[in-house]
């Protein structure tokens, strides 16, 4: 039976590899980087024991029952509930836009029924200027003045004191770390993994005759050597440091809304494992302390930067022009499939880089769970 190649070992590729293996296929996973996990990859810091999120904070959250069921086959979650604080003008507020933020900012004590009437156009504009204009300007590299105030109308409002950042039914951090989640996803006798090996159309010929399908989740424009030009992305630069204090900011993420502060956020990763604090204090005997016993902490400052070919792509810049460019690359995928058909091969391009879209992890997993995997020998579309 012919093999299947899964190119890219992020959450999309690992989910597909597992599905394919469980459907009876032999799977070869090729990953360009030295290790699996894609942008959700974390590493446990040997000095402190803190689990560092190497590509920015990643919290698993979903209300998709099929995704939650699938993910929990490979990990337990620790029950972490995400809160985001925002610092502005030297004061710290709770996001999202709800009673906690509004009451503190305007110095009032509103009850839930009062909020809607209180948030006049003028007050919404004040909130927008204070908390969103500078941040959005930094994030997308535009002068704060150019950020459209209509954005504020789309910022969801909560007429309550719920400061949980996500509206999802389920969330958490893998209880024994993201690394183990990815290892377990690929731990199947029919899956073999080769890291430091990139798939390209140039090396596709070597698989001819032995491979039926390629599922590729690298950048779609890179696959075609940027022949129509590069799809635009926003990139990030991370500055990480270990600090000799037990707790630096008292929470996992603080956004910095002031335009003068050059970074957008500070991540303090040990807060993603509140159970580690219980372990360090001796209140529980099981599990790891995730850095809480070290007396130190690890923080990362996040700086948005302009993306160029070769940089890590983070956020797609979705506009009419990039949509047209993406459509041209999709046509190329169809053309490749025309050529591959003679060899009985098929190319499927997906994931956040292949699909040129912002995907949360649960959406990437859901997409991989729904992607058509076909069967060996079946008629190709
Ligand atoms: C800053 C930031 C924070 C985020 N936080 C969250 C969060 O809190 N919660 C959440 O749910 N989601 C979050 N996300 C989204 C999350 O990162 C994505 O959902 C996830 O990475 C999508 O997985 P993927 O497999 O599609 O892509 P990736 O994780 O990017 O994996 C693609 C893989 O393909 C490999 N590859 C590329 N080219 C090739 C090639 N030619 N051959 C072989 N391999 C190749 C890459 O090295 C990579 O390992 C965040 C995203 C960003 C940018």
Would you state the structure tokens that stand for residue 44, as one six-digit string?
């446990």
**CA 30–ligand 1 middle distance (angstroms):** 15
Query: Which of 186, 360, 369 to probe ligand 1 with, by most ligand atoms within 8 A of CB?
Result: 360
Catalytic annotation on 239? no
Query: Which of 28, 37, 39, 265 to probe ligand 1 with, by most ligand atoms within 8 A of CB?
Result: 39
- Judgement on whether residues 72 and 48 belong to the same structural domain of the protein: yes
What CATH number is given to the structural domain containing 186?
3.40.50.720
Q: Give the active site residue among 213, 268, 302, 362.
A: 302
- Judgement on whether residues 54 and 179 belong to the same structural domain of the protein: yes
pLDDT value of position 376: 53
Are 222 and 312 a contacting pair, CB within 8 Å? no
Rounded to two decimals, the pTM is 0.95
Residues with CB under 6 A from ligand 1: 7-13, 30-33, 38-40, 56-60, 198-200, 217-218, 314-315, 351-353, 359-362, 364
Low-confidence residues in the chain, pLDDT < 50: 377-381
pLDDT value of position 286: 92
Taking the CA atoms of 205, 211, 215 and 217 in sequence, report the sign of the dihedral they define: negative
Flag whether 289 is in a domain.
Answer: no
Catalytic annotation on 19? no
pLDDT value of position 339: 80
pLDDT value of position 148: 67
pLDDT value of position 254: 98
What number of other Cβ atoms are within 10 A of residue 274's Cβ? 16
Tens digits of residue pLDDT in 290-347: 999 999 999 999 999 999 999 999 999 988 999 999 999 999 999 999 887 777 889 9
- Judgement on whether residues 52 and 152 belong to the same structural domain of the protein: no
| Domain containing residue 123 | 96-158
Q: Quote the CA–CA distance of 300 and 253 in Å, as a whole number.
A: 10
Catalytic annotation on 31? no
pLDDT value of position 153: 60
Within 13 Å, how many C-alpha atoms sit on residue 23's CB side? 17
Tens digits of residue pLDDT in 242-280: 999 999 999 999 999 999 999 999 999 999 999 999 999
Q: 158, 179, 199 — which closes off a domain?
A: 158
**CA 218–ligand 1 middle distance (angstroms):** 9
pLDDT value of position 378: 41
Are 325 and 233 a contacting pair, CB within 8 Å? no
pLDDT value of position 53: 98
pLDDT value of position 377: 42
């Amino acid at each position: 039976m012919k093999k299947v190649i899964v190119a890219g070992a992020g959450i999309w590729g690992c989910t597909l590899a597992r599905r394919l293996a469980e459907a009876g296929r032999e799977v070869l996973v090729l990953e360009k980087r030295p290790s699996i996990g894609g942008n959700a990859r974390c590493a446990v810091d040997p000095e402190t024991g803190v689990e560092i999120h190497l590509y920015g904070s990643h919290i698993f959250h979903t209300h998709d029952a099929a995704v939650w069921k699938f993910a929990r086959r490979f990990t337990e979650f620790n029950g972490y509930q995400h809160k985001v604080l925002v610092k502005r003008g030297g004061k710290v507020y709770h996001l999202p836009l709800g009673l906690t933020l509004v009451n503190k900012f305007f110095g009032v004590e509103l009850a839930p029924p009062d909020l809607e009437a209180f948030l006049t156009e003028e007050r919404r504009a004040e909130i927008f200027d204070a908390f969103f204009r500078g941040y959005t300007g930094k994030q997308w590299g535009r002068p704060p003045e150019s950020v459209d105030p209509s954005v504020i109308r789309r910022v969801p409002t909560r007429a309550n004191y719920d400061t949980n950042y996500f509206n999802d039914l389920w969330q958490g951090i893998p209880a024994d770390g993201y690394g183990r989640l990815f290892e377990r996803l690929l731990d199947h006798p029919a899956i073999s993994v080769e890291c430091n090996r990139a798939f390209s159309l140039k090396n596709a010929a070597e698989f001819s005759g032995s491979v039926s399908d390629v599922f590729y989740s690298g950048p779609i424009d890179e696959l075609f050597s940027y022949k129509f030009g590069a799809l635009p992305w926003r990139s990030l630069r991370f500055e990480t440091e270990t600090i000799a204090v037990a707790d630096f900011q008292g929470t996992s993420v603080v956004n910095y809304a002031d335009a003068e502060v050059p970074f957008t956020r500070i991540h303090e990763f040990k807060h993603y494992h509140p159970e580690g604090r219980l372990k360090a204090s001796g209140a529980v005997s099981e599990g790891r302390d995730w850095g809480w016993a070290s007396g130190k902490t690890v923080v990362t400052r996040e700086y948005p930067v302009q993306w160029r070919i070769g940089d890590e792509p983070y956020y797609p810049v979705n506009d009419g022009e990039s949509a047209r460019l993406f459509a041209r690359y999709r046509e190329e995928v169809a053309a490749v499939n025309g050529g591959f058909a003679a060899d009985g091969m098929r190319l499927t391009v997906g994931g956040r880089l292949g699909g040129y879209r912002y995907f949360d992890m649960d959406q990437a997993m859901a997409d991989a769970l729904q992607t058509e995997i076909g069967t060996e020998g079946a008629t190709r579309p």
